[in-house]
């Protein structure tokens, strides 16, 4: 029987691709983290990431300005570099542009990319342009990370605190968000993080990535989850994607150094990658992520 991608899902597809790929000794971390980590300099690694945004999937041309679309295409990549503790440096942009798009629209889209690039010290160094049915922007971004500041999805330790850099929203600002690079700098310099990810699929789904890679379990406390905007259900926002806050684990002994804008939402406990949700009434329940997946 032929299996469709919707039967196995995005994550299983990526896992099977990862299993079929062999990499050389210059690859420190290949498929499976927010960035690939590559051999580079004596004290630094190179980070390499790519993300694509597609009309109708990640944005709606009727509702979003070209400036905000271009901006988002780069912001999601910067977020992945931040999740690994690095600094973004060089980008190439591939654009699939429908025939009906005007040149001023395309220019505005690039203005969105270049203004954010300038703000984050990124050089735009190339790309590719094609005609396509839907508007597609794919950016590949290189970054640098000091070897002792690299943070991966693996590495969470028993007893670590589980922290997020800001509140979660029912309708996050998925176009205009600012990648959490400043927060990432602080985390790697001051908090001794053991694992980190950016919340792109949803809090529970991205937590599950950390737990699977770290081979650990976690407790998440409903009462500690910060809800932004108007009151909404915690159960909903923990499965809402495109929040782009950083989720990380760190030793409890360093908690006195965390800023007021960060939130401890749980702790690492046990060796099975499962999530125990503790309700406001203290009831414990194992929960599975229901975040966004393609297919
Ligand atoms: P993120 O949400 O952080 O951008 P993804 O869920 O897109 O991460 O990807 C998870 C991992 O799988 C990353 O290491 C990414 O590079 C890799 N990956 C995703 N799609 C592919 C693909 N088609 N081929 C090879 N690697 C892929
Ligand atoms: Mg990511």
* Averaged pLDDT of the chain: 95
Q: Measuring from atom 8 of ligand 1, which residue has the nearest CA?
A: 34
Q: Cα(203)–Cα(201) distance, rounded to whole angstroms?
A: 7
* Of 31, 142, 180, best ligand 1 pocket probe by most atoms within 8 Å of the beta carbon: 31
Tens-binned pLDDT, residue by residue, of the chain (295 aa)? 677 877 788 888 999 999 999 999 999 999 999 999 999 999 999 999 999 999 999 999 889 999 999 999 999 999 999 999 999 999 999 999 999 999 999 999 999 999 999 999 999 999 999 999 999 999 999 999 999 999 999 999 999 999 999 999 999 999 999 999 999 999 999 999 999 999 999 999 999 999 999 999 999 999 999 999 887 889 899 999 999 999 999 999 999 999 999 999 999 999 999 999 999 999 999 999 885 666 6
- How many other CB atoms are there within 10 angstroms of residue 96's CB atom? 18
Query: How does pLDDT run across 144-163, given as a tens digit for each residue?
Result: 999 999 999 999 999 999 99
| Total residues found in the chain within this entry | 295
pTM: 0.96
Residues 6+ apart with CB under 8 A from 87: 81, 121, 143, 144, 145, 181
Q: Measuring from atom 17 of ligand 1, which residue has the nearest CA?
A: 31
3-class secondary structure, 184? helix
Q: Cα(275)–Cα(291) distance, rounded to whole angstroms?
A: 14
CB-side neighbour CA atoms (13 Å) of 29: 19
pLDDT at 5: 77
pLDDT at 293: 61
Between the CA of 1 and the centroid of ligand 2 the distance, in Å, is 33
Which atom of ligand 1 has the smallest separation from the CA of 31?
14
pLDDT at 294: 61
Q: Measuring from atom 5 of ligand 1, which residue has the nearest CA?
A: 34
Do residues 172 and 242 lie in contact, with contact meaning Cβ atoms separated by under 8 Å? yes
CA distances from 35 to 81, 84, 134, 182, 246 (A): 7, 7, 27, 18, 14
Q: Measuring from atom 7 of ligand 1, which residue has the nearest CA?
A: 51
Query: End-to-end CA distance of the chain, in Å?
Result: 18
Between the CA of 219 and the centroid of ligand 1 the distance, in Å, is 26
Q: Cα(150)–Cα(86) distance, rounded to whole angstroms?
A: 7
């Amino acid at each position: 029987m032929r299996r469709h991608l919707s039967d196995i899902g995005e994550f299983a597809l990526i896992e099977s691709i990862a299993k079929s790929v062999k990499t050389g000794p210059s690859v420190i971390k290949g498929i499976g983290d927010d960035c690939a980590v590559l051999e580079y300099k004596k004290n630094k690694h190179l980070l390499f990431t790519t993300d694509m945004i597609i009309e109708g999937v990640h944005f709606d041309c009727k509702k979003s300005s070209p400036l905000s679309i271009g901006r988002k295409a780069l912001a999601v990549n910067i977020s992945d570099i931040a999740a690994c503790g690095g600094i973004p440096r060089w980008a190439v942009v591939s654009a699939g542009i429908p025939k009906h798009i005007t040149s001023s629209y395309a220019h505005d889209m690039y203005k969105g990319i270049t203004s954010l690039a300038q703000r984050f010290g990124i050089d735009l160094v190339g790309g590719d342009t094609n005609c396509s049915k839907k508007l597609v922007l794919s950016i590949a971004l290189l970054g640098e990370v000091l070897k002792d500041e690299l943070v991966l999805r693996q590495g969470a330790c028993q007893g670590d605190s589980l922290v997020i850099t800001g509140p979660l929203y029912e309708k996050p600002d998925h176009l205009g968000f600012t990648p959490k690079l400043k927060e990432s700098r602080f985390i790697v310099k001051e908090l001794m993080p053991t694992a980190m990810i950016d919340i792109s699929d949803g809090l529970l789904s991205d937590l599950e990535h950390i737990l699977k890679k770290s081979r650990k379990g976690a407790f998440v406390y409903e009462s500690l989850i910060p809800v932004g905007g108007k009151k909404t259900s915690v159960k909903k926002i923990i499965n809402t994607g495109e929040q782009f806050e950083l989720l990380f684990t760190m030793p409890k002994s360093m908690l006195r150094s965390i800023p007021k804008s960060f939130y401890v939402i749980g702790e690492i406990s046990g060796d099975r990658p499962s999530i125990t949700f503790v309700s406001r009434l203290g009831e414990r329940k194992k929960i599975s992520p229901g975040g966004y997946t393609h297919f």
